[in-house]
């Protein structure tokens, strides 16, 4: 039997199902592959078995073969251990970015080639154009679903061997195509959040790996207003979970996380959503990844996103000798969070990005000992 030219990553969701359908209808020799990226931890919250059944059902409906690979060990070593280390350091990592780089577009691509395929396809909402040695990652036509933010760590060799069949389609059309084709995933709810946590409570999940370390909650001027269960359970700008009711001497207004002093185990909060302690204009990053292989210049203007689905933010970028970036925004930015990804764009073209290392918020500088009261 001739090996298929394209292997589709079948997640058990509607997007990958329609990606496989579109390729098959275009006459592409195609097969599916279901990736097991998280070992069942016995909690009952892992949906992998259900997703696998749905992937098998879709491939059966389409009349294409399906393969299975267990990448849970690779995921643990290359994604989850980093995730835990970042949270322990008080940062907020983005495991989806690492999963794409290390698992879906490395181990999955290698597995597809071992099966004799030339390329892979996924249900991501993004586009690729260009030719040999000059491939570009573009935003999806449906900006509300665009996932190029999570794909910014891909390089030329990966883009050359990848297809995104849904890049030109709005989500409503994808569901209509699945429904018209009678695919069993047509009405399946989209997965949200971090894949290995699923529907369970984030804090209780993290507590299994990072034991609670209670400490004080301070205002920016050092007044104690409460106690937290662990600074790593919180992220900048967060309002939920602080359990701060009426605090004597303060207005009955919501509290927001504006800083984390990890060495002192102190969580810093303020009552204004757009507190000056959350606002920054300059962001510094770790070494950047460039989709083209190199930055467009040592200094250039573009737009950036510091979180998924953020509107384009105008900025000036300076590339340091070590590859790190200093990004100065035209307007102050709220809750730019170390550990998250800063992704750069020119129009629909994704240039690349980097992990956020630090900002110039008053809270960040105070925690670093650079600000004196």
Query: Would you please indicate which residues are annotated as catalytic (active-site) residues?
Result: 99, 195
Query: Is the CB of residue 314 less than 8 Å from the CB of residue 333?
Result: no
Q: How far apart are alpha carbons 334 and 236 in whole angstroms?
A: 9
Count of CB atoms situated within 10 Å of the CB of 253: 11
Pairing of strands 256-261, 266-270: antiparallel
Query: Is the CB of residue 186 less than 8 Å from the CB of residue 21?
Result: no
Q: How far apart are alpha carbons 131 and 123 in whole angstroms?
A: 21
In the chain, % helix, strand, coil (3-state, to 5) comes to: 25, 30, 45
Q: How far apart are alpha carbons 351 and 155 in whole angstroms?
A: 10
Phi, psi of 39 (to 5 degrees): -70, 140
Query: Is the CB of residue 368 less than 8 Å from the CB of residue 329?
Result: no
Of 23, 197, 29, the closest CA to residue 123 belongs to: 23
174 three-class SS: helix
User: Which residues lie below 8 Å from residue 352, measured CB to CB, with a gap of 6+?
Assistant: 152, 153, 288, 289, 290, 291, 292, 295, 343, 344
User: Which residues lie below 8 Å from residue 114, measured CB to CB, with a gap of 6+?
Assistant: none
225 three-class SS: strand
Type and span of the H or E element at 260 = strand 256-261
Burial class (CB in 10 A: 0-12, 13-18, 19+), 294: exposed
| DSSP letter assigned to residue 232 | G
């Amino acid at each position: 039997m001739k090996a298929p030219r394209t292997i589709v990553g079948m997640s058990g969701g509607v997007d990958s199902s329609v990606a496989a359908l579109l390729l098959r209808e275009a006459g592409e020799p195609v097969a599916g592959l279901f990736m097991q990226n998280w070992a069942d931890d016995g909690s009952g919250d892992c949906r992998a078995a259900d997703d696998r059944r749905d992937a098998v059902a879709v491939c059966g409906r389409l009349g294409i073969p399906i393969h299975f690979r267990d990448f849970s060990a690779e995921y643990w070593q290359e994604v989850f251990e980093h995730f835990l280390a970042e949270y322990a350091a008080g940062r907020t990592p983005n495991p989806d970015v690492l999963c794409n780089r290390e698992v879906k577009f490395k181990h999955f691509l290698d597995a597809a080639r071992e099966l004799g395929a030339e390329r892979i396809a996924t249900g991501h909402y993004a586009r690729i154009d260009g030719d040999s040695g000059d491939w570009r990652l573009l935003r999806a036509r449906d900006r509300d679903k665009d996932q190029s933010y999570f794909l910014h760590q891909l390089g030329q060799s990966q883009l050359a061997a990848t297809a995104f069949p849904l890049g030109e389609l709005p989500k409503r059309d994808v569901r209509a195509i699945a429904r018209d084709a009678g695919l069993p995933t047509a009405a399946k709810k989209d997965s949200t959040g971090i894949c290995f946590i699923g529907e369970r409570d984030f804090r209780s999940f993290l507590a299994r790996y990072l034991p609670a370390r209670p400490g004080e909650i301070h205002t920016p001027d050092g007044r104690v207003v409460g106690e937290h269960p662990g600074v790593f359970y919180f992220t900048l700008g967060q309002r939920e979970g602080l359990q701060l009711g009426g605090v004597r001497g303060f207005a009955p207004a919501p509290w927001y996380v504006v800083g984390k002093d990890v060495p002192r185990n102190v969580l810093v909060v303020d009552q204004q959503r757009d507190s000056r302690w959350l606002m920054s204009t300059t962001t510094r990053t770790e070494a950047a990844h460039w989709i083209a292989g190199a930055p467009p210049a040592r200094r250039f203007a573009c737009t950036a996103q510091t979180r998924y689905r953020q509107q384009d933010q105008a900025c000036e970028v300076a590339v340091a000798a070590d590859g790190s970036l200093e990004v100065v925004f035209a307007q102050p930015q709220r809750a730019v969070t170390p550990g998250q990804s800063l992704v750069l764009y020119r129009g629909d073209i994704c240039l690349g990005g980097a992990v956020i290392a630090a900002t110039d918020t008053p809270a960040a500088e105070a925690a670093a000992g650079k600000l004196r009261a």
